[in-house]
C-alpha cells in the first residue's frame, strides 16, 4: 500500500514539475520574442463628457489644454494632464453639430465651425468673442494662419442633398471681417489647412481633389488629383515640403508641396481616412479611420511604413492631433470619447 502511495506521490510530483518546466519554457520563449505591445498599453486615458459624437480635437499651443467639437453642439475644454473637463462652450445651439475646432497660434483664441457660422471664443475663460457669418451651408473645417491674423473656413452640406456652398472663406481674425472667398471646388469643401509659412492654403473636397491657393491673393495655384473618393482631410508637414491627404478611398496620399507631384500612397486602413496629422518633428503621420475600421494608425513619413495601429474606439474615429511635444496623440470619435495615446515609446 505504501509502495502504491509512494509511486502515486512520486508520479504526481514529477508530473507537476514537468508541467512547471513546460510552462516556464513557454513563458521564456514567449518573452524572448519581439512582439508589438498590446495597443491598450499605449492608451493613457479616455475623456468622457460629450453626449454625442466627437468630430474634431485640437491641442493648445502650450499643450496644456485639449479642445473637442461635438455633435452635441458644444466645445469641450479638457486638462491634457489629468483629463478633467475644464469647461463647456455653448453657442452653436440649434445650429447643428460643431464640426471643427482650432486654437490660435498664441493660444488666446479658439475658433469653432458649426452650422453656417464660425464662432470665436476667449480660450482663458470660454467667453464668446464674435460670430462670423457669410457661409450658406455647414462650416466643416476651420484653421488659423501661422501668424494668427487670418482664419480659413471650409463649407459644404454635411448631410448630403443640394450643395449650397462649395467655398473656402478667409476672415480677419481680429475683427471678423470677411476678406475673400475662394471658389473652384465643384462639391462640398471638407477640410482646409495653411502651410507653415502661411503663403499657401490647401483645401479638400467631395469632388475628390485637393486644391492649393495663394493665401495672399486667393488665386488658385494647382489641383492635386489621385484620390478616387472624397478627400476628407489635409495637412502640411512642419517644414512645408510635403502635403498629406486622407480620403474615403481608405488611403493617405503624400504630395510634393512645391509642384503637386504625388510621392506615395499609404495603404492599410479598411475604412475611410477621416483625419491626418504630422508629428511636430515631421517624422510620423497619424491617421484616423471610420467605416468599421475604428483605428488610429501611425506611419513613417519618409518610407510610408506602418509603425503601429491603436485600437480602442468603438465607432468612427473622426479626428487626430499630436501634442506640441509630439509625445501624445488625441483622437476623437463617434463613440463620444476623446482618447489620449502615448506615442513617445
Query: Element (H or E) spanning 154, and its range?
Result: strand 150-156
How many distinct helices (H) and strands (E) make up the chain? Answer: 1, 28
Which pLDDT score is estimated for 291? Answer: 80
What pLDDT does residue 217 have? Answer: 97
Q: What is the pLDDT of residue 106?
A: 98
Q: Structural domain of residue 230, as residue ranges?
A: 40-342
Same domain as 182, residue 319 = yes
Q: In this model, does residue 27 exceed pLDDT 70?
A: no
Are residues 92 and 211 located together in one domain of the fold? yes
Q: Name the least confident of 150-159, 185-194, 201-210, 242-251.
A: 150-159
What is the spatial distance between Cα 310 and Cα 40, in angstroms, rounded to a whole number?
A: 8
What's the N-to-C CA distance of the chain in angstroms? Answer: 62
* Mean pLDDT, rounded, of the chain: 89
How much is the pLDDT for 157? 80
Distance of CA 289 to the CA centre of its chain: 9
CA 248 to mean position of chain CA atoms: 15
- What does pTM read for this prediction? 0.87
pLDDT band, residue 39 (cuts 50/70/90) = low
pLDDT on residue 40: 66
The pLDDT tens digits of the residues spanning 121-137 come to: 999 999 999 999 999 99
Residue among 321, 294, 267 at smallest CA distance from 67:
321
pLDDT > 90: percent of the chain: 81
DSSP 8-state symbol, 187: S
Look-up of cell digits 488629383? 225
What average pLDDT does this structure show over 14-19? 38
CA distance 225 to 208: 7
CATH number of the domain that 218 lies in? Answer: 2.130.10.10
Residue of 190, 184, 193 lying closest to 221 (CA atoms) = 184
Largest CA distance in the chain: 102
Mean pLDDT of 306-327: 96
Banded model confidence at residue 5, pLDDT cuts 50, 70, 90: very low
Q: Are residues 131 and 46 in the same domain?
A: yes
Which pLDDT score, from 0 to 100, does residue 332 have?
Answer: 97
What band does 292 get if pLDDT is binned at 50, 70 and 90?
confident
Same domain, 247 and 338: yes
Residues 31 and 52 in one domain: no
- Radius of gyration in angstroms for the set of CA atoms belonging to the chain, rounded to a whole number: 24
Q: Which residue has the cell 476678406?
A: 179
181-197 burial, b if ≥16 CB within 10 A, otherwise e?
A: ebebbeebbbbbbbbee
Measured CA to CA, the distance from residue 320 to residue 191 in angstroms comes to 14
In whole angstroms, give the CA distance from residue 328 to residue 43.
Answer: 10
The yes-or-no verdict on residue 335 having pLDDT over 90 is: yes
Q: Are residues 240 and 199 in the same domain?
A: yes
187 and 302: one domain?
A: yes
> 81 and 103: one domain?
yes
Whether residue 97 is predicted with pLDDT greater than 50 in this model: the reply is yes
Q: What is the pLDDT of residues 133-186, one digit of tens each?
A: 999 999 999 999 999 999 999 998 866 556 679 999 999 999 999 999 999 999
Q: Are residues 6 and 135 in the same domain?
A: no
Same domain, 318 and 242: yes
State how far the Cα of 145 lies from the Cα of 172, in Å rounded to an integer.
10
Residues 16 and 103 both lie in one domain = no
How far apart (Å, rounded) are the C-alpha atoms in residues 231 and 185? 12
Same structural domain, 9 and 86:
no
- Total domains in the chain come to 2
| pLDDT reported for residue 204 | 98
Amino acid at each position: 500500500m505504501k509502495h502504491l502511495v509512494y509511486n502515486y506521490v512520486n508520479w504526481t510530483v514529477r508530473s507537476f514539475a514537468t508541467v512547471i518546466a513546460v510552462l516556464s519554457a513557454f513563458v521564456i520563449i514567449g518573452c524572448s520574442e519581439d512582439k508589438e505591445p498590446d495597443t491598450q498599453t499605449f492608451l493613457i486615458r479616455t475623456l468622457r463628457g460629450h453626449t454625442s459624437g466627437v468630430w474634431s480635437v485640437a491641442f493648445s499651443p502650450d499643450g496644456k489644454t485639449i479642445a473637442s467639437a461635438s455633435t452635441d453642439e458644444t466645445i469641450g475644454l479638457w486638462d491634457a494632464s489629468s483629463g478633467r473637463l475644464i469647461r463647456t462652450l455653448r453657442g452653436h445651439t440649434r445650429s447643428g453639430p460643431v464640426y471643427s475646432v482650432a486654437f490660435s497660434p498664441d493660444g488666446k483664441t479658439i475658433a469653432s465651425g458649426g452650422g453656417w457660422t464660425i464662432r470665436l471664443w476667449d480660450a482663458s475663460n470660454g467667453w464668446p468673442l464674435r460670430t462670423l457669418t457669410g457661409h450658406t451651408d455647414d462650416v466643416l473645417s476651420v484653421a488659423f494662419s501661422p501668424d494668427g491674423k487670418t482664419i480659413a473656413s471650409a463649407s459644404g452640406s454635411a448631410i448630403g442633398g443640394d450643395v449650397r456652398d462649395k467655398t473656402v472663406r478667409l476672415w480677419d481674425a481680429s475683427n471678423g471681417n470677411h476678406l475673400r472667398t475662394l471658389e473652384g471646388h465643384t462639391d462640398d469643401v471638407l477640410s482646409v489647412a495653411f502651410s507653415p509659412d502661411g503663403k499657401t492654403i490647401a483645401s479638400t473636397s467631395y469632388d475628390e481633389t485637393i486644391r492649393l491657393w495663394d493665401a495672399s491673393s486667393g488665386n488658385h495655384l494647382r489641383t492635386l488629383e489621385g484620390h478616387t473618393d472624397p478627400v476628407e482631410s489635409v495637412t502640411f508637414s512642419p517644414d512645408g515640403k510635403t502635403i498629406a491627404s486622407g480620403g474615403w478611398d481608405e488611403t493617405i496620399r503624400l504630395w510634393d508641396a512645391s509642384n503637386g507631384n504625388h510621392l506615395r500612397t499609404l495603404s492599410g486602413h479598411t475604412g475611410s481616412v477621416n483625419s491626418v496629422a504630422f508629428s511636430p518633428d515631421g517624422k510620423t503621420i497619424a491617421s484616423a479611420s471610420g467605416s468599421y475600421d475604428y483605428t488610429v494608425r501611425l506611419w513613417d513619413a519618409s518610407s510610408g511604413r506602418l509603425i503601429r495601429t491603436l485600437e480602442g474606439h468603438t465607432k468612427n474615429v473622426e479626428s487626430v492631433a499630436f501634442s506640441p511635444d509630439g509625445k501624445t496623440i488625441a483622437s476623437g470619435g463617434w463613440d463620444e470619447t476623446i482618447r489620449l495615446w502615448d506615442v513617445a515609446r
